A and B are shown apart, each in its own frame.
Chain A
Amino acid sequence: MLTEPTPKNDLIFRIAGDGGEGVISCGDFIAAACARSGLEIYTFKTFPAEVRGGYAMYQIRVSSKPLFNQGDTFDIFCALNSEAYEINRVRLLPGTALIYDNSFSPDIPDGILAYPIPMTKASKALGFKKAKNMVALGAISELFDISAEALKGVLCDKFKAKGDKVLQANLDAFDKGVECATALEKNSELQLPAGEEAKDVIMLSGNEAIGLGALIGGLNFFSAYPITPASEIARYLAIHLPKTGGTLIQAEDEIASISQAIGASFAGKKAMTATSGPGIALMSEMLGFAFMSETPVVVVDVQRGGPSTGLPTKHEQSDLLAAVYGSHGDAMRVVLSVENVADCIHMTVDAMNLAETYQSPVLLLSESSLAFSSQTIPTPDPDLIEVVQRKRWDGEGEYQRYEQTADFISPMADPGTPCALHMATGLEHKADGRPSFTSASHEEMTAKRFDKLKTLPDNFRAIEIDGDADAQADIGIITWGSSIGVAREAIARLRDEGLDVKGLYPKLIWPMQVEQFENFAATCKKVLVVEVNYQGQLAQLIRSQTSLDPVSHTIFGGMPFTPANIEAKVRELL
């Protein structure tokens, strides 16, 4: 029974419980059903670093409008056990709906819409204790108007491989949940909005999207070593890369994985590896070699909390300085960062294109929160995505691997090419690859290696400005990675209040598009740099490369920013 007819078009569900209680699958089903109903999805998960047990949380933000982040808090909370309830109790604001397993009796704060559901009891009565999450799912479906038909469709697809018996048991538990919730009074605001029909979307995680981007970009060779939170990239490619005739190998360590990728690239293939911070640390010498020998290679770094083993499953944007500077000697590389799942596809292609074009290592920085965030995005059309091949020798004249050219990029020649025998080397060398340790050679070749990347900041697409590029603003926010999505919402809300705030969202981090930073800052009274790391790593880079002296605002608690946090900081500065 509805009390009012105005549903809010932005609902955030949070499901929490023990790792083994089916939190993740329950969340996946809600996300898939909502996406099938034509709604936009942005999910956010945390799970324990331990293999079994421990607290797991899955949050699903749903709207008919585009979504840019996981949101400030949640509107609907489903607790599968009392520990999960206690962890979240302090975050329960008045008006929040609470669905909980009635096998425990929570101390519920005032103003909460409480829905006790016999999850444990009902699933036991059905003789299928593992279906506790399905009872919860049925109740959630009924209480918040998630199409039961769409959910059942998802369950059928998910469980059909496990046989009719398993499927039916899950459907029965789901129906039981619906039944338990039917008599309960619903809240009219907390009803799922109507979706738009027939949207051409796909829904996938950041890690899967990086794998897909690599396939679109023409990946031939992938090598990686298992590491949280990057392993799903290898998993996705292990399934799909062989279909396109590519090769995937799990190497003995991260040094071997980047070495194999560099070997495959030398042999003429598009090659990539994916890791997290600890792997980047191990790869730093090979990144220098790729730069020195001018070998294209893409390295994905799905950042997690560091340093050392740090917080392996938590969110942090703290590998920026390592990505930019982590090598000995005068070395350079291209560093890109991704904002969302769509970027994970398109910027992986960018990374591959840039590696091939500039014969350089390219690091693509993703983040733990994105790695596991499922988002609905427009279905990409591979025909509309530009894929670049490296400059190859045309067979004219005498081949020299490090020949000086107008753009400082020397044509490559695959092994097997007649008359193109050559040496690619990490020793300082002459144009023909012979070692040379003279001042002249080192000066000339160092300049060549740096000069070829000098045009990149101008050649790469312009940095997105959120707001009118020429208009004056009181505060200009610069941020990177997934924090961009949070800033978008914060800025939109502040603007709605009439405040003059704009944003600058760089995706090419290194080499820096300095002029565009300067131009942006010239239109802002104050510049604020927002990022999830202790040191203010982007702020440091900006100070070192530009004339800006921005205010640095950082958090470093293993969680992403919320729009409210950024809004509060802006208000403080005004």
Chain B
Amino acid sequence: MNSAPMKPKDYQSGIHPVWCAGCGNYGALAGVYRALSELNIDPANLVNISGIGCSSRMPYFLKAFKMHTLHGRAGPVATGVQLARPDLNVLVTGGDGDGFSIGGGHMPHLGRTNVNLTYILMDNHIYGLTKGQVSPTSRREMKGYTTPYGGIEEPMRPLLYMLTYGATYVGQAFAGDAKMCAELIKGGLEHRGMAYIHILSQCPSFNKMDTADYFKSIIKEIPQTHDVNNLRKAMRLIYKFAEKKKEPVGLLYQSQRPTLDEIMADLVQQAGGSKDYDIRKIIDLSRP
């Protein structure tokens, strides 16, 4: 495309976000624009896949090849895109309900197979699009649309979940800190492997409990001394912060291991695979 460096606003699609005023997703989106600009990624080589939910609308606001799929299914659709075209930058954007409730069965497999994609999960601890039901990350005491007497279930722990299942890049940021969002997203896009970026993103319309101020009060930067290459230390840090009711922000963990597409490419090479392979050789194997 054009050779001039891309500015953050050059990644705007021209469609204005439908999110409510004060929604944390604006911060995440600003972070996405900034990260893309810093890496000067050609929109033609960017694919953004999403499921369903407020944050899953992000692809509409981004210049890229995009697919707005079904609730919970962005991960496997993006896996298909990535394996089909390993040369592209694949970005998944979605929320807590999409990723960890209906799509929760797919998350482990994105991590363990180390699909080379960047998954930005905007967690507002609520179902916003359906107007305020508790989500898998809602606090126990939350009163939601369908939990008028208070919540029933304990919230899940997305960072521990993704670390456990083998994501090779895991970080968390607060949506109000677009700079940190951008840094983590940039790092995720540069990372080869499954990058999981958890963004604490307030919902001013339906989550009156976990507000921007609340998130601000619980976040605490990961100390510079933290060893990001050590999985055990990353998990311990999360537990240690949790004891003090704090959420770590920054990069928690990064490691390298072969990605799914690299393993597939090796496999094709081992099989002597080529587009010009003569299918007659395969047909001949069925001679009686």
Q: Which residues A228-280 have CB closer than 8 A to chain B?
A: 240, 242-247, 249, 251-253, 255-257, 259-269, 271
Per-residue contact bits, chain B 69-87, to A (CB 8 Å; 1 contact, 0 not): 1100101111111111101
Pick from B47, B64, B281, B287 the residue with the most CB of A within 10 Å: B287
Question: Would you give the shortest CB distance from B230 to chain A, in whole angstroms?
Answer: 28
Which A residues are in CB contact (< 8 Å) with B15?
Answer: 434
A344 and B69 CA atoms in complex are apart in Å by: 31
Q: Which of B45, B65, B83, B109 contacts A422 (CB 8 A)?
A: B65
Known: A247-B264, A285-B70. A269 touches B76 (CB 8 A): no
Which A residues are in CB contact (< 8 Å) with B73?
Answer: 255-256, 259, 286
How many residues of B are counted as interface, with CB atoms below 8 angstroms from the partner's CB atoms?
55
Per-residue contact bits, chain B 268-285, to A (CB 8 Å; 1 contact, 0 not): 101111110101111110
Which B residues are in CB contact (< 8 Å) with A269?
Answer: 84-85
Which A residues are in CB contact (< 8 Å) with B76?
Answer: 251-252, 255-257, 259-260, 263
Judge if A405 is at the interface, Cβ distance under 8 Å.
Answer: no
A246 and B80 CA atoms in complex are apart in Å by: 12
Which A residues are in CB contact (< 8 Å) with B108?
Answer: 252
Name the segment of A84-92, A214-222, A490-498 touching the other chain: A214-222
Say yes or no: A221 contacts B84, CB within 8 Å.
Answer: yes
Per-residue contact bits, chain A 1-40, to B (CB 8 Å; 1 contact, 0 not): 0000000000000000000000000000001100110000
Which B residues are in CB contact (< 8 Å) with A223?
Answer: 80
A348 and B72 CA atoms in complex are apart in Å by: 30
Q: Which residues A63-88 have CB closer than 8 A to chain B?
A: none
Say yes or no: B279 contacts A418, CB within 8 Å.
Answer: no
Say yes or no: A243 contacts B272, CB within 8 Å.
Answer: yes
Judge if A425 is at the interface, Cβ distance under 8 Å.
Answer: yes
A265 and B87 CA atoms in complex are apart in Å by: 15
Per-residue contact bits, chain A 415-446, to B (CB 8 Å; 1 contact, 0 not): 11111111111110000001100000000000
Say yes or no: B88 contacts A416, CB within 8 Å.
Answer: yes
B265: nearest chain-A partner, CB-CB: A247
Say yes or no: A423 contacts B85, CB within 8 Å.
Answer: no
Judge if B66 is at the interface, Cβ distance under 8 Å.
Answer: yes
A413: nearest chain-B partner, CB-CB: B65
Known: A255-B76, A261-B80. A204 touches B286 (CB 8 A): yes
Say yes or no: B273 contacts A243, CB within 8 Å.
Answer: yes
Judge if A201 is at the interface, Cβ distance under 8 Å.
Answer: yes
Known: A242-B268, A262-B77. A267 touches B84 (CB 8 A): yes
Say yes or no: B282 contacts A243, CB within 8 Å.
Answer: yes
Pick from A208, A267, A293 the residue with the most CB of B within 10 Å: A267
Pick from A31, A215, A262, A382 the residue with the most CB of B within 10 Å: A262
Judge if A298 is at the interface, Cβ distance under 8 Å.
Answer: no
Question: How many Cβ-Cβ contacts under 8 Å join chain A to chain B?
Answer: 188
Which B residues are in CB contact (< 8 Å) with A264?
Answer: 80-81, 83-84
Pick from A245, A261, A419 the residue with the most CB of B within 10 Å: A245
Judge if B105 is at the interface, Cβ distance under 8 Å.
Answer: yes
A262 and B80 CA atoms in complex are apart in Å by: 7
Question: Would you give the shortest CB distance from B152 to chain A, in whole angstroms?
Answer: 26
Which A residues are in CB contact (< 8 Å) with B105?
Answer: 252-253, 256
A455 and B59 CA atoms in complex are apart in Å by: 34
Say yes or no: B286 contacts A212, CB within 8 Å.
Answer: yes
Judge if A203 is at the interface, Cβ distance under 8 Å.
Answer: yes
Pick from B15, B43, B108 the residue with the most CB of A within 10 Å: B15
Which B residues are in CB contact (< 8 Å) with A265?
Answer: 80
Which B residues are in CB contact (< 8 Å) with A379?
Answer: 283, 287
A286 and B72 CA atoms in complex are apart in Å by: 11
Judge if A202 is at the interface, Cβ distance under 8 Å.
Answer: yes
Q: Which of B47, B66, B260 contacts A267 (CB 8 A)?
A: B47
Which B residues are in CB contact (< 8 Å) with A421?
Answer: 43-44, 63-66
Question: Would you give the shortest CB distance from B44 to chain A, in whole angstroms?
Answer: 5
Judge if A133 is at the interface, Cβ distance under 8 Å.
Answer: no
B83: nearest chain-A partner, CB-CB: A247
Say yes or no: B273 contacts A426, CB within 8 Å.
Answer: no
A376 and B75 CA atoms in complex are apart in Å by: 42
Judge if A380 is at the interface, Cβ distance under 8 Å.
Answer: yes
Say yes or no: A289 contacts B70, CB within 8 Å.
Answer: yes
Q: Which residues A36-70 have CB closer than 8 A to chain B?
A: 36, 41
Q: Which of A31, A203, A246 contacts B286 (CB 8 A)?
A: A203
A382: nearest chain-B partner, CB-CB: B279
A203 and B81 CA atoms in complex are apart in Å by: 35
Known: A262-B80, A424-B68. A244 touches B279 (CB 8 A): yes
Say yes or no: A415 contacts B47, CB within 8 Å.
Answer: yes
| Given A31-B288, A256-B79, A261-B80, 8 other A-B residues pairs in contact with their CB atoms under 8 A | A212-B282, A223-B80, A256-B76, A257-B76, A266-B77, A268-B85, A416-B88, A425-B68
Binding site for B on A (CB under 8 A): 31-32, 35-36, 41, 201-204, 208, 212, 215-216, 220-221, 223, 240, 242-247, 249, 251-253, 255-257, 259-269, 271, 285-286, 289, 293, 376, 379-380, 382, 414-427, 434-435
CB-based closest 5 A-B pairs: A263-B80, A35-B288, A259-B76, A260-B80, A267-B84
12 inter-chain pairs at a CB distance below 8 angstroms, sorted by A residue, are A35-B288, A245-B275, A247-B84, A262-B80, A263-B49, A264-B83, A266-B67, A268-B84, A415-B44, A424-B68, A425-B67, A426-B69
